[in-house]
Amino acid sequence: MEFTAKQIAAFLNGSIEGDEDIKVNKVSKIEEASRGSLAFLANPVYKHYIYKTNASIVLVNKDFKTEQPIQTTLIRVDNAYNALAQLLEIYKKSLPDKTGISQVAHVSKSAKIGQKVYIGEFAYIGENVEIGDGVKINPQAYIDDNVKIGDNTIIYPGAKIFEHSVIGKNCTLHSGAVIGSDGFGFAMQTDSNFKKIAQIGNVIIEDNVEIGSNTTVDRATMGSTIIKKGVKLDNLIQIGHNVVIDENTVMAAQVGIAGSTKIGKNCMFGGQVGISGHLNIGDNVKMAAKSGVGSHIKSKDVIMGSPAIDASNYKKSYIHFRNLEKFVKRIDELENEIKRLKAK
């Protein structure tokens, strides 16, 4: 599909600098773009590419200021990154829409299937499953008994959803995601062995949630593990049993949250954050990558380090960490000087 700069600007409510009739038929990174490409500039780190890019059109923020002549056509918008997201969503919706149930998929007779559903090859749909309209269940996905899946949710190949899990509308579960596997619950016995505690709860995932590849969300021991609406989880994340993650919180890869911890709204966690069990994390909390959290965190706190502390205090302390060798050398010199003075 081809679009002119004029058409794109009209859709994004942007202003054009350059040729309004120039056409694009693909989207590229600004540093790799060729003629006929649409690119964008949102991060100032890539600013130098705009003066040599081969892209036909580049989306930029309205406050972007040029320092050299530019050959490409610019479309100025409020937020270039968001504008690109809008365009990519339109492109995605223009792709062919798969529907129908493969003859080699297993669909239980008691399952309730909505309208315009796609169920791919070798997918498994268990007893009493309820699947909403427009759901896409790709090949080799596994949907266990009594699972409910809301409208327009996408389940990618190899994802597994275990019994009694509830998945909301407009969710995305990427390949290898496991929803509702056993929580990690064991009771120590008198002979130092561990007895498994039956995990009889479920997982509830609300609307507009995205779960990355090979991320696991354990079902509750009793009650529910709950992922509330708008939450975005990256790949390779572990969510323990009875955890609650409130609305619009985002987590980067390899985060691990132990059982029964409660996470607030609008939090942002960097990669490899580790959080102990039975903690309360407030709203709007930010955790730097590799933070190790072993205590409750108040709303709006920004923390880093392991064990994690206030980020500004950590940065001040880190100056001393880096100079530790110098401090040890100075202490050794002072001790030697004291010995000499005592000897006199």
At residue 170, the pLDDT reads: 97
At residue 343, the pLDDT reads: 87
At residue 91, the pLDDT reads: 79
Instruction: Count CB neighbours of 140 within 10 A.
Output: 17
At residue 38, the pLDDT reads: 95
Domain residue spans in the chain? Answer: 3-94, 100-313, 316-343
| 257-266 burial code (b ≥16 CB/10 A, e <16) | bbbbbbbbbb
CA angle 307, 313, 314 (to 5 degrees): 45
Which residue type, as a one-letter code, is found at position 85? A
User: Following DSSP, what letter does each residue of 92-129 receive, concatenated?
Assistant: HHHS----EE-TTSEE-TT-EE-TT-EE-TT-EE-TT-
Could you give the count of Cα atoms lying within 13 Å of 59 in the half-sphere of its Cβ?
29
Distance CA 99, CA 95 (A): 13
Which residues are registered as beta bridge partners of 113?
131
Q: What is the CATH class of 3-94?
A: alpha beta
Architecture of domain 100-313: 3 Solenoid (2.160)
At residue 184, the pLDDT reads: 93
At residue 192, the pLDDT reads: 85
Q: Are domains 3-94 and 100-313 of this chain identical in fold?
A: no
Instruction: Give pTM, 2 decimals.
Output: 0.87
Tokens (6 digits) for 260: 């029964």
At residue 191, the pLDDT reads: 85
Query: How distant, in Å, are the alpha carbons of 147, 241, 340 from that of 144?
Result: 6, 18, 78
Which residue stretches of the chain have pLDDT < 70? Answer: none
DSSP character at residue 316: H
Model confidence pLDDT, tens digit, residues 168-210: 999 999 999 999 999 999 999 988 899 999 999 999 999 999 9
296 is catalytic: no
Please pick, among 241, 278, 296, 320, the residue that the annotation labels catalytic: 241
